[in-house]
């Protein structure tokens, strides 16, 4: 495979994947296709935008004719599909956009791949990036002490049981991808990953939002009691897994990707506070006063925890970063890149955020 279509490459994870592929594979042509929704930001790729092996195409994955044109024009033989609406809170307010992009957009890409490749599957690959949220929620059977906080983990065989409109739409897209393999023979791979953190994440998500709020002495809105558990993975480790699976993963397989790194939200928030305060030179615990418990997210999944043993055993991938190191790196990046943050949080986005959440 030489001409790789990466969708959603101007978003958080996509930009890390695009950067990795541009740097690591100078012989490939990397076509980054992105609609540039509120979450897409070409500033995420400033350092690589002039590379000879890189092209940016502004397009909507729901535009089937355009997808056909892109497949033909760039002679695409591999797809890494990340484009999606990705924020659970937005999906609760506006489920239609999620069904449209995540389901119909994925279907339009699948059909374009099928029609263009037309049964010539050799050296072709359609890799769909999904989430652990499709599996639903795990119980918190061991809420005290050290993680893991329960006996069960999500494996590749866990039944799909999505709860939010976001995860329902992602689950539906996963089913379409597998259906295109089973029905037409399209060479597909699916991965389901846990929560990512790191540079360039849109600041409506917990970690960048809270780092920025601490910096501006603003409240930190913790949903419910802060007892929900997420399994956090450094985004560059996810990008590395995507590279390995894209090249070596078996057709029609599913791989779970996760860090065996469970955190209760409130404990994570305290680590973020400690790290930001240390770097800003504040006394220890100074910003804990900003913690504000707010109404819980509707249908808030209690615990996610991924078992990524299959990926480790079959393809040798493991997370490279310890969480303490990753979170410090992440906090420093956001504090050092305040201009990147300000460009997003000023103007239109600020108005949206206030209309959605009030003046938090």
Catalytic residues: 132-133, 166
Binding site for ligand DAU (CB under 6 A): 86-88, 131-133, 194-195, 205-206, 209, 221-223, 228, 230, 265, 297, 304
What's the closest the beta carbon of residue 34 comes to ligand NAD, in angstroms? Answer: 5
The phi and psi torsions of 179 (rounded to 5 degrees) equal -65, -35
Considering only 4, 10, 80, 207, the residue that binds ligand NAD (CB under 6 A) is 10
Residue 14 site contact among ligand DAU, ligand NAD, none (CB < 5 to 8 Å, cut-off depends on kind) = ligand NAD
Q: Which H or E run includes 59?
A: none
Stretch that binds ligand NAD, among 36-44, 137-145, 266-274, 319-327 (CB under 6 A): 36-44
What distance in Å separates the CA atoms of residue 241 and residue 346, rounded to the nearest whole number?
34
* CB-side neighbour CA atoms (13 Å) of 95: 7
Q: Taking CB under 6 A as the rule, does residue 198 contact ligand NAD? A: no
CA angle 309, 259, 39 (to 5 degrees): 125
Residue 169 site contact among ligand NAD, ligand DAU, none (CB < 5 to 8 Å, cut-off depends on kind) = none
Considering only 106, 108, 131, 188, the residue that binds ligand NAD (CB under 6 A) is 131
Contact 131, 167 (CB under 8 A): yes
Considering only 5, 34, 54, 327, the residue that binds ligand NAD (CB under 6 A) is 34
What's the closest the beta carbon of residue 226 comes to ligand DAU, in angstroms? Answer: 6
Q: Taking CB under 6 A as the rule, does residue 196 contact ligand NAD? A: yes
Considering only 180, 202, 210, 334, the residue that binds ligand NAD (CB under 6 A) is 202
What's the closest the beta carbon of residue 55 comes to ligand DAU, in angstroms? Answer: 26
The phi and psi torsions of 82 (rounded to 5 degrees) equal -115, -15
CA distances to 87, 100, 262 from 39, rounded to whole Å, are 10, 16, 26
Q: Which residues contact 111 (CB under 8 A, 6 or more apart)?
A: 64, 67
Tokens of 277: 């305060």
């Amino acid at each position: 495979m030489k001409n790789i279509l990466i969708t959603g490459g101007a978003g958080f994870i996509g930009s890390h994947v695009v950067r990795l592929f541009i740097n690591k594979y100078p012989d490939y042509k990397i076509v980054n296709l992105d609609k540039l929704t509120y979450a897409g930001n070409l500033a995420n790729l400033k350092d690589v935008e002039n590379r000879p092996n890189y092209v940016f195409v502004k397009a909507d994955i729901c535009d089937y004719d355009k997808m056909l044109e892109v497949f033909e024009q760039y002679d695409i033989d591999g797809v890494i599909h990340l484009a999606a609406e990705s924020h659970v809170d937005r999906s609760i307010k506006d489920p239609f956009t999620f069904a449209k992009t995540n389901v119909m957009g994925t279907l339009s890409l699948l059909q374009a791949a099928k029609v263009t490749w037309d049964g010539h599957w050799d050296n072709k690959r359609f890799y769909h990036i999904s989430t652990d949220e499709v599996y639903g929620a795990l119980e918190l059977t061991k809420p005290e002490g050290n993680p893991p906080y329960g006996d069960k983990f999500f494996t590749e065989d866990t039944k799909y049981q999505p709860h939010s409109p976001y995860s329902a739409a992602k689950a539906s897209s996963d089913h379409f991808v597998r259906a295109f393999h089973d029905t037409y023979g399209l060479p597909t791979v699916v991965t389901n990953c846990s929560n990512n953190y790191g540079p360039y994440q849109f600041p409506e998500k917990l970690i960048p939002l809270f780092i920025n709020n601490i910096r501006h002495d603003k409240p930190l809105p913790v949903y419910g009691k802060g007892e929900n558990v997420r399994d956090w993975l450094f985004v560059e480790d996810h990008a590395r897994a995507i590279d390995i699976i894209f090249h070596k993963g078996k057709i029609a397989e599913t791989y779970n990707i996760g860090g065996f790194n469970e955190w209760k939200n409130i404990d994570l928030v305290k680590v973020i506070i400690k790290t930001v305060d240390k770097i800003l030179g504040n006394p220890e615990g100074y910003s804990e006063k900003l913690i504000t418990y707010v109404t819980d997210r509707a249908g808030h999944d209690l615990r996610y925890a991924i078992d990524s043993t299959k990926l480790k055993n079959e393809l040798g991938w493991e997370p490279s970063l310890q969480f303490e190191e990753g979170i410090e790196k992440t906090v420093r990046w956001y504090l050092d890149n305040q201009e990147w943050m300000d460009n997003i949080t000023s103007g239109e986005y600020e108005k949206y955020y206030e209309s959605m959440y009030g003046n938090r």
